[in-house]
Structure 1
Amino acid sequence: MIQFQNEYLTVFQSALYQTTCTVVNTKDFVLVVDPNWLPHEIEEIEQHVARIQGEKQLYLLFTHGDFDHIIGYHAFPGAKVIGSKGLQEHTNKVGKVEMIHQFYNDYYIHCPYSIAFPEVDLVIKEDGQQLVLGETTITFYLSPGHTHDGLFTIIEPLGVWIAGDYLSDFELPFVYDSAKAYLDTLRKTERILDTHAVSVLVPGHGQTSTSQVEIKRRIQLSQDYLERLIAAVIKEDPEALTALEKEMPFPSKFTNHCHGENIAIIRREYTKRT
């Protein structure tokens, strides 16, 4: 389903977890970001790309290596793959591929293409690294915290910010890597807004935004939630921890698990308890 579209940008949204896939179309190239989830949803993205690509080079960008974001990798053969050094050197590639197989098996879904972890052609190693394609400049920033291999992408002069699993309009921070790194990444988002003329933000889950006020609200929302969670863990405040868990939308076994993971990581980083 198309969630957002303008003359150069199309954002598809899966029925699962409101996961987005971004397609950027310029006169020099086509960029596909995190194609997902279900086969018919990925097929819709494929058909869109086939209509607009022509003779242009196709690039495939992965914001990080979570299985829901890499699931459509082999649906776009011939694309040049962009990813972080952390993605290239991911230590659990086999595990991520197994999760994709398990997803398809759990729901009796036949996958129409082969399944593999992405092989990266263009490796992003540092903040500010750029890729210039014709009249377009793509600037990358490492975004650890949610995962170790996260990547922010700014596309100029279009003003597009592809944020991966940050700055959702509804999803609160899931910390799979490091709470300290997550806070550092949120501080980096403020610098990005000061440095770049961002006009469109696309999160990995949730709604695209064209409002600077809304983007800043999302940054503050994540910072506030994570800082309150860290304080509650340090103080060993069970009532506050329970209240914070209830702030997560779509309460489920999944969000309960993520809340528990957040607490465990914060304990390791901010206290001597495990």
Structure 2
Amino acid sequence: MIQLQNKAVTVFQSALFQTTSTVIQTNEMIIVVDPNWLPNEIETIQHYVQSIQGEREIYLLFTHGDFDHIIGYQAFPGAKTIGSLALQNHPKKDHKLKLIRNFDNENYVIRNYPILFPELDIVIQEDGQQLQLGETTLTFYLAPGHTADGLMTVVEPLGILIAGDYLSDFELPFIYDSAKAYSQTLDKSNRILEQHHVQLLVPGHGLATSDQGEMKRRVELAADYLERLRQSVIANDESALEALNQEHAFPSSFTEECHKENVRIMKREYL
């Protein structure tokens, strides 16, 4: 479904995990972010992009390499691809592709394009690296923590922050890489909000927002959760850890496993 739409931006939202796919159009380019999940959802994005493309080139931006975010890669052949150096050098590419195939097989899903790991045309290696086409400037920031290959992008002059799997309105941090790096990425998010005139924040899961106070609330929400988790791990406070587990939205075996991984990584880094 379409979660948000204006002249420049359309945010599609999957029925699965409230995952977003964002299409941004400027005078110079069409940017497609993380097209996902189900075939009919990706086809809707395809048709929309085709209807607005004109003579503009398509740039396919990947926020990170989790399988739900790369699942629509080959649905846009000929697009120029953008991602982090860590995505280009991802150590478990075959595993990510296996997750896609398992998902499709378990749900009898048929796709009309091959399942491949993204090959990048534009590799982001450092904070502040930019891509400029005409009046459009993309400024990139490395965002490890959730995964090692995370990437945040500011699209100007539109003032759009593509946050990847950070700054959701409901999803607490899932740490697959590093708790310390996650906290550093949150600090970096604050600096991005201060340095850029962000008018729209789009998370990888959940609702986009144009409210400045809400943007800051989301940074504080994640930072507060991580700090309470760190303190509970250091104190070995099992009741506090279980209370934190219960704070996750949509409690399930999935969030249970994510919580265990959060605790495991916290213990590895702080004990």
**Is 2:12 aligned against 1:39?**
no
Measured after TM superposition, the shift of residue 235 of structure 1 is 0.4
**1:255, 1:162 → 2: CA distance?**
24
Q: What is residue 2 of structure 1 aligned with on the other side?
A: 2
Deviations 1:101-156 (A, max 9, x none): 00000101111110000001000000000000111110000000000000000001
The residue type paired with residue 152 of structure 1 is M
Q: What is residue 65 of structure 2 aligned with on the other side?
A: 65
**1:132, 1:27 → 2: CA distance?**
12
**2:141, 2:147 → 1: CA distance?**
14
Q: What is residue 217 of structure 1 aligned with on the other side?
A: 217
Q: What is residue 158 of structure 1 aligned with on the other side?
A: 158
Matches within 5 A, 1:78-93: 78-93=78-93
**1:216, 1:185 → 2: CA distance?**
14
Q: What is residue 250 of structure 1 aligned with on the other side?
A: 250
Matches within 5 A, 1:101-180: 101-180=101-180
Deviations 1:235-255 (A, max 9, x none): 000000000000001000000
**1:214, 1:154 → 2: CA distance?**
18
**2:112, 2:267 → 1: CA distance?**
43
The residue type paired with residue 223 of structure 1 is A
Q: What is residue 193 of structure 1 aligned with on the other side?
A: 193
**1:263, 1:46 → 2: CA distance?**
39
The residue type paired with residue 236 of structure 2 is E
Q: What is residue 261 of structure 1 aligned with on the other side?
A: 261
**Is 2:50 aligned against 1:76?**
no
**2:55, 2:5 → 1: CA distance?**
22
Report the 3-state secondary structure (helix = DSSP H, G, I; strand = E; otherwise coil) of the residue aligned with 1:95.
helix
Deviations 1:22-60 (A, max 9, x none): 000111110000000000000000000000001111100
**2:111, 2:53 → 1: CA distance?**
24
**2:48, 2:64 → 1: CA distance?**
23
Extract structure 1 runs of 4+ deviating beyond 6 A.
Answer: none
Q: What is residue 208 of structure 2 aligned with on the other side?
A: 208
Sequence identity of aligned pairs in percent?
63
**Is 2:229 aligned against 1:226?**
no
Report the 3-state secondary structure (helix = DSSP H, G, I; strand = E; otherwise coil) of the residue aligned with 1:201.
strand
Unaligned 5+ segments in structure 2 are: none
Q: What is residue 20 of structure 2 aligned with on the other side?
A: 20
**1:27, 1:133 → 2: CA distance?**
9
**1:43, 1:141 → 2: CA distance?**
30
**1:150, 1:214 → 2: CA distance?**
22
Unaligned 5+ segments in structure 1 are: none
The residue type paired with residue 97 of structure 1 is L
TM score, norm. by length of structure 2: 1.00
The residue type paired with residue 91 of structure 2 is T
Report the 3-state secondary structure (helix = DSSP H, G, I; strand = E; otherwise coil) of the residue aligned with 1:181.
helix
**1:218, 1:133 → 2: CA distance?**
31
Deviations 1:64-87 (A, max 9, x none): 000000000000000000000000
The residue type paired with residue 252 of structure 1 is S
